Structure 1
Amino acid sequence: MAHQPLVNFLIAGVQKGGTTALFDYLSDYPDIALPSEKELHFFDDDARDWAQPDYADYHAHFPAPDGRPSGEATPIYAYWPGALERIAAYNPEMKLIFALRDPVERAWSHWRMEHARGYETRPFGWCIREGRERLADAPPQLRRVYSYVERGFYGAQLERVFALFPKHQVLVLKSEDLRREPGPVLGRVRTFLDLPPAPAPAPRESHIGPQSGELAAEDIACLREVYQADSARLETLTGIRFP
């Protein structure tokens, strides 16, 4: 390997899955090294020369190596084409953490965020049906916005993960578990990072998005059908099942 990897774990997915809360919780532990900002968006940066990548500016976000696990949280890594392969090339021993949320709820939360920002003007029902065709011709920035449905195919994403990394380097969590009982979940994360038990930080809510509106029953049914095969794939891979 031509470089010495500094970062040895990533919260790599998923957007709107509780990654901000997880990052904030881990920031409370002095024996974990994190950058001051969440979402460095390094491995999903297609403008970089990935044939000869320079990691200097990435490493500049982190403290000097001192034996602590060093990581960051950019939840698009699980979804963005090429990101996982770049991570594997950077550090084949990287530990990856994924916080998964019911994909229907995740899609709805994603749409509400983009609608509140003004990036999305079409209704949710249209976006999850006809609007999926926009991804084929959309520029990269809008592919990030319009991927309400596509980011929820967790089974397909984890198949890519397990093709690149052994399963013992991957920890898959449910965001609702982190929200309801953060202590046991954080204990699992610390064990995964080879750290001893530590008192759990006080429960918190992080990055709560817009709460207006209601998810229509017909949209729920539509997405349940869309995700049916992938949900079975996810359950086979991880044992995790959503409604």
Structure 2
Amino acid sequence: MSIVSSELDTPILSVDPKRLATIQTPYQDFNRLSRASGALEALPLRAKRQFRSYYFFNPPKWRVRARALSGGERMEPSFASIGAVRSGTSFLSSYIFQHPHVVLPLSKEIAFTETMRELMAHFPTRAAQRAAERQNGGAITGYCTPVMPNPLWIFLAKSMFPNMRIICVLRDPVERTFSHWRWDQKRFVSRKSQDPHWKGFPDFETLIEAEKATIRGGGMEPHAFSGARAGYLRHSIYAPFLRLLFEKFGRDRVFIVDAAAFFRDPRATAKQIYEFLGLPKVEPLVIEERNTGPDGALDDRLRADLAEFFRPYNDELYALLDKDFGWGAR
């Protein structure tokens, strides 16, 4: 969508509100399904979901397979927006995907462990690219997924799309860790709480103490239900992942997003990302609906204890990025 400036008589891109509705619908689907009281209530929601043009994550398998069989050349992703679970990756994707030059993939999140044919089926066809170029003057595509801290993604992404640009969002480790645990409690653990097999599932403090001990001792920590196959604390230790990311893609191809700054002024961050991706200037629309997690307050003592645990890891990150995020300073 574009308008014409009366002063310069040149086209100026603007966000199509219909696109924003397309981006936000999968979140509404997800929330409705999460609140459904049973299979009968969920059935019509799942049926409607089969035919969306864009998904939050896990599109119907038959859609992916049908696209894989349809043939035709597809666009390669120009960018990937990544981070750890509960860092703001979903909210950030809604701003990135607003830009008229970004042709939407089938799904925001793409499982990089799929076959190349299945993975490419998520991306738009070259015909869709040409149509977008005619309409808006340019077209790129990409995807947004919480892959940190899994280093395997870096190796596979580099081998598949070596020229891709990476946007990486980093959130205060203490806030992210607790938010991740609350999210898993709501989505997974609470559903199992009445089963006797799960009666011994530890509370947050017990689980975190066990993970700290295994990290310090070089053992395998208890992993989170969502995200990478790693623990809640491990998801918040960023420097090792970023060091490898810089080695493989180059520091100049990685844009670091401070989640706190993004949450304060998402449109300003979005415009910086548009510039990083080489996209023309656009004023993004404000998004009210976020992929928020369940409510909960972290005990001050536990907060201080976690801040102390993360301190050396944060210092390592600050040195790597030459930037102090001020995490733990309260």
Report the TM-score when normalising by structure 2: 0.64
The answer to whether the 8 Å contact 1:114/1:145 transfers is: no
The amino acid that maps onto 1:72 is: Y
Aligned residues: CA RMSD? 2.6
Partner residue of 1:55?
A: 116
Partner residue of 2:317?
A: 234
Among 231, 236, 249, the alignment partner of 1:152 is 236
Structure 1 residues 64 and 207: alpha-carbon distance in aligned structure 2, compared to 1, 3 A threshold:
same
Q: Which secondary structure state, in structure 2, belongs to the residue aligned with residue 172 of structure 1?
A: strand
CA distance in 1, matches of 2:314, 2:224: 27
Partner residue of 1:122?
A: 202
TM-superposed CA distance for 1:139, in Å, is: 8.3
Among 88, 104, 109, the alignment partner of 2:158 is 88
Partner residue of 1:215?
A: 298
The answer to whether the 8 Å contact 1:156/1:230 transfers is: no
TM-superposed CA distance for 1:137, in Å, is: 7.4
Q: Which secondary structure state, in structure 1, belongs to the residue aligned with residue 169 of structure 2?
A: strand
The answer to whether the 8 Å contact 1:182/1:200 transfers is: no
Q: Which secondary structure state, in structure 2, belongs to the residue aligned with residue 118 of structure 1?
A: helix
Length, aligned pairs only:
230
Structure 1 residues 87 and 201: alpha-carbon distance in aligned structure 2, compared to 1, 3 A threshold:
same
Q: Which secondary structure state, in structure 2, belongs to the residue aligned with residue 82 of structure 1?
A: helix
Structure 1 residues 240 and 34: alpha-carbon distance in aligned structure 2, compared to 1, 3 A threshold:
farther
The answer to whether the 8 Å contact 2:81/2:89 transfers is: yes
Could you tell me the percent identity over the aligned residues? 26
The answer to whether the 8 Å contact 1:9/1:72 transfers is: yes
CA distance in 2, matches of 1:145, 1:204: 31
The answer to whether the 8 Å contact 1:99/1:172 transfers is: yes
The answer to whether the 8 Å contact 1:33/1:63 transfers is: yes
The amino acid that maps onto 2:146 is: P
The amino acid that maps onto 2:273 is: V
Report the TM-score when normalising by structure 1: 0.85
The answer to whether the 8 Å contact 1:17/1:175 transfers is: yes
Q: Which has the higher contact order (CA 8 A, sep 6+)?
A: 1
Structure 1 residues 5 and 55: alpha-carbon distance in aligned structure 2, compared to 1, 3 A threshold:
farther
CA distance in 1, matches of 2:224, 2:116: 22
The answer to whether the 8 Å contact 1:8/1:95 transfers is: yes
TM-superposed CA distance for 1:138, in Å, is: 6.2
What per-residue deviation string (whole Å, max 9, x for no partner) do you get for residues 20-47 of structure 1?
11111222222112324221121xx2xx
Q: How do 1:1-243 and structure 2 match up within 5 A? A: 6-42=76-112, 45=113, 54-65=115-126, 66=129, 68-76=139-147, 78-119=148-189, 121-131=201-211, 133=214, 136=220, 144=228, 147-211=231-295, 213-238=296-321, 239-241=323-325, 242-243=327-328
Structure 1 residue ranges without an equivalent (≥5) = 49-53
Q: Name which one, 1 or 2, has greater alpha-carbon Rg.
A: 2
